[in-house]
Structure 1
Amino acid sequence: MEISLRFLGAAGTVTGSKYRLDLGTHKWLIDCGLFQGHRSLRERNWRHPAINPSELRGVLLTHAHIDHSGYLPVLTKSGFAGPVYATRATVDLCRILLPDSGFLQEKDAEFANRHGTSRHRPAKPLYTRADAEDALALFKGLDFGDFQELGHGFAARFHPAGHILGAAVIELDLPNGKTAVFSGDLGRPNSATMLRPETVTHADYLIVESTYGNRKHKDIEVEDLLAEIVSITAKRGGTIIVPAFAVGRAQSLLYHLSQLKRDKRIPDLPIFLDSPMAINASELFCEHIDGHRLSAAECRQACDVATYVRSTEDSKALTTNRMPKIIISASGMATGGRVVHHIKNYVSDPRNALLFTGFQAAGTRGRAIVDGAQSVKIHGQNLPVRASVHNLDSLSAHADADEIIAWLSQFGSAPEMTFITHGEPVATASLKARIEQELSWPCHAPVLDEKVELS
């Protein structure tokens, strides 16, 4: 039987995770994500990848983030009939993320038609909320450690990856007796909130992420730096705007802020969680107590530290209220959503602060601001960046280069081949060099659409 792997995303970029595994005539996808960032990448979402949806036997998801799950509704409306296997927490999170993604696609198309900003007449959404609901009907939830037979000598097992709630490393038994392991997005071993990535000891073929493959997270206590930024900004009468990923990062922030408030290490500023998705994800966080490190009491305390802002009207009111405060709002790279409106209203006042909380992909508004842009374009306006800018990347949910190497070092023997993906080219090349030099493993950094044989 010919067994091959084709890299349809997350090769030379951190987005669009999508791997087609061919087991003879049986085809599977591992992850099914949207491309984000540069326009050239986003446009790939509209091209038909090398997938015939009706031929797919199923999809295996490492976790719920849109760059790993957000293309599923496109598959479904094109004829894919399932199943989609994921951990139970990932299924629950996708019930929040995918319909929201469809809603945003519809709103973007509506905006483009109203303002004539699209080359297409009329502009259409990539998929709708209804398409997302159709995709969700195909999901099947699994527990960590479950051994799922998938037919014809193919089976899967999910291990905790520690990245976000439900995130998994997927171990696959192939029909030829070999084993393939997909790291998904690896979390950090010493996260205050998330589980430690589980040790995997064997893989014949390993696909490992490299988001931070050329970096080391700063060796600083998150709460120390967070306390300093909040205290200094409050002293000058400013507001802290925090673009945060709704799933994972927002919950970590709430936990750390609740600890700082409990210990009276920051002024008693009001905290607002202005993201319906982040609110829903926070409530799920408290339902899946076994999926993270926090106790039920700690989880409740973290959720109670913020005022939840659900309605658009209440969100708009925050921009007119100039009292010092902390606003946590999606999206984490400031590419859309309510946080963009907050940045627009607060970015040009030097009393305020913009606090980013992790990786900023090339081509995003967040990346431009963190890299020192003097102005930022929002809704057609070029606004001067006068607020102080910070990036608390030590709060990142991605393992850094040293932590990835430490995880790999636990393997009992070298894989036949390690494929390094999910990173910008410099990060991927750096991690490849380290693995080759420090572990003496054979490595390959695939390019988009490359096909490799695993037979």
Structure 2
Amino acid sequence: MSVKLTFLGGVGTVTGSKYLLEKDGTRVLVDCGLFQGYKQLRLKNWAPLPVDPKTIDAVILTHAHLDHSGYLPLLVRNGFKGPVVCTRATRDLCAILLPDSGFLQEKDAEFANRHGFSKHRPALPLYTKKDAEVSLDRFRPVDFDDVHEMLGAFSVTFRKAGHILGAAIVELTWGGTRIVFSGDLGRYGDATMFDPSPIREADYLLVESTYGNRRHENLDAEDILAEAITKTARRGGTVVIPSFAVGRAQSLLFHIQSLKEDGRIPDLPIFLDSPMAVSASNIYGKHPDDHRLTAEECDWSNGAAHYVADVEESKDLDRNRMPKVIVSASGMATGGRVLHHLKHYAPDHRNMILFAGFQAGGTRGAAITSGAASVRIHGSDVPIRAEVGNLHMLSAHADADEIMRWLGNFERPPKMTYITHGEPDAADALRYRIESELDWPCWLPDYREDVELE
């Protein structure tokens, strides 16, 4: 009997990754992510999952980012009782990411109810912090590169993907069929993370295509950062950097610390204003074999940045007129403390809003980087008069050339390569390159499409 694969997310979009495998009555979900961005995508989070969570036997996570893990609290609340298998660093990161996600959803709902700008009466969170904490009991962390037998049915091996701490390429073998999930592939030569591990063969491959139609700029991130910070400080402004709390924030602090040590930026205060990013930064020291950094380089509070402790201190940053740099989550400006900083700093031309990577369609980040005159935050339209930039070269995702480089490690073509986790234009561009340059068969799956893996 063949393995049935159903695409429950992560197709036609860069969010909501969920891939269901079924064989002989056993069901496994690879990734369990939240849909983000456009409203029609976010509404899928509220709709019943197309498969009953009670019937899923296990979840395998490629990494901790919410578009791959953020639906887990709801899955558990709705009846899932199996193991969640992932790397050790992924488990540690999920222990802060998931409760924080629940907490922010509760706070957003509370804020909407207090100020009356939600259509719902009352506005409710998708799940709560408590739901997220309960879901952590299902986690079963394992080591990279070991073969793990599961449910007496299949084996799974995690290989380093780069991207962020703990991120993995998943090799799953079931009944003689080898299925490889790229997860999110990292960059080659990244300053903080290892190169993605080479994979030699697969019967079926699911490969991400976030940057499938683009090449990252061949620019030095520190040169661009130094210029942005220096010119903004000279005109008396503040640089606000919306940053992903896991991976991107730490990379930014690494480069800012280097600039400070070399005297390439003014001696102005740097603030890391994200409790989740602070917690994530502390986790790097627990997993020294998962990244390139030394123990000293992992301590960004020692010279690079001041860690903001609480909400009142965060509010003080907006009252303080001194030029400074604020690194704050979230990376696409979809929630968190950065929204309050944007409300304060975006209307002033002296300031700069400096994004640090991919902005999914439908997010505030995508609107701002596309030149929107204003964005809606907490029920009000906020004018964007600050200078806007994007450090694309700091993206944690492989670009099109790097994806092709990774695919070049395969010693034989997969029977089928499924292009996932990309906007339609990016996914189709990668399909064209794989077909024309490698002569591999490819397919762009649709949401809820299912295929038989012979």
TM-score by length of structure 2 reads 0.98
Matched position secondary structure for 1:21? strand
Deviation at 1:151, TM superposition (A): 3.1
- Residue range with higher mean Cα deviation, 293-302 or 313-322: 293-302
CA distance in 2, matches of 1:344, 1:430: 36
1:413-428 equivalences under 5 Å are: 413-428=412-427
Structure 2 gap segments, 5+ residues each: none
Q: How far does the alpha carbon of each residue in 1:60-93 deviate from its partner, in whole angstroms, 9 at most, with x for none?
A: 0000000100101111111111200000000000
CA distance in 2, matches of 1:384, 1:74: 35
Distance change in 2, residues 1:233/1:448 (3 Å): same
The match for 2:283 is: 284
Aligned partners of 1:20 and 1:29 also within 8 Å: yes
1:274-423 equivalences under 5 Å are: 274-301=273-300, 304-423=303-422
The match for 1:18 is: 18
Aligned partners of 1:254 and 1:302 also within 8 Å: no
Aligned partners of 2:221 and 2:393 also within 8 Å: yes
CA distance in 2, matches of 1:151, 1:333: 38
- Counterpart of 2:139, as a letter, is F
CA distance in 1, matches of 2:300, 2:58: 39
Q: Does 1:50 align with 2:50?
A: yes
CA distance in 2, matches of 1:16, 1:379: 24
Distance change in 2, residues 1:418/1:303 (3 Å): farther
The match for 1:151 is: 151
CA distance in 1, matches of 2:105, 2:382: 26
CA distance in 1, matches of 2:49, 2:448: 9
Q: How far does the alpha carbon of each residue in 1:276-304 deviate from its partner, in whole angstroms, 9 at most, with x for none?
A: 00000001112211111111122225754
- Residue range with higher mean Cα deviation, 234-243 or 109-118: 109-118
Aligned partners of 1:66 and 1:97 also within 8 Å: yes
The match for 2:266 is: 267
- Counterpart of 1:351, as a letter, is R
The match for 1:256 is: 255
Q: How far does the alpha carbon of each residue in 1:240-276 deviate from its partner, in whole angstroms, 9 at most, with x for none?
A: 0000000000000000000010011111110000000
CA distance in 2, matches of 1:151, 1:400: 36
Distance change in 2, residues 1:301/1:129 (3 Å): closer
- Counterpart of 1:332, as a letter, is G
Aligned partners of 1:254 and 1:303 also within 8 Å: no
The match for 1:219 is: 218
- Counterpart of 2:219, as a letter, is I
Q: Does 1:92 align with 2:95?
A: no
Matched position secondary structure for 1:155? strand
Matched position secondary structure for 1:412? coil
- Residue range with higher mean Cα deviation, 143-152 or 372-381: 372-381
Distance change in 2, residues 1:302/1:116 (3 Å): closer
- Counterpart of 2:20, as a letter, is R
CA distance in 1, matches of 2:120, 2:263: 54
Distance change in 2, residues 1:128/1:215 (3 Å): same
Aligned partners of 1:273 and 1:307 also within 8 Å: yes
Identity over aligned pairs, percent: 60
The match for 2:37 is: 37
Q: How far does the alpha carbon of each residue in 1:26-50 deviate from its partner, in whole angstroms, 9 at most, with x for none?
A: 0000000000001110000011122
The match for 1:204 is: 203
Deviation at 1:126, TM superposition (A): 1.4
Aligned partners of 2:198 and 2:406 also within 8 Å: yes
Structure 1 gap segments, 5+ residues each: none
- Residue range with higher mean Cα deviation, 12-21 or 109-118: 109-118
CA distance in 2, matches of 1:302, 1:443: 46
The match for 1:110 is: 110
Deviation at 1:123, TM superposition (A): 3.0
Distance change in 2, residues 1:292/1:231 (3 Å): same
Matched position secondary structure for 2:298? helix
The match for 1:68 is: 68
CA distance in 1, matches of 2:121, 2:388: 39
Aligned partners of 2:117 and 2:379 also within 8 Å: no
Q: In angstroms, what is the RMSD of aligned CA positions?
A: 1.2
CA distance in 2, matches of 1:79, 1:375: 42
1:116-127 equivalences under 5 Å are: 116-127=116-127
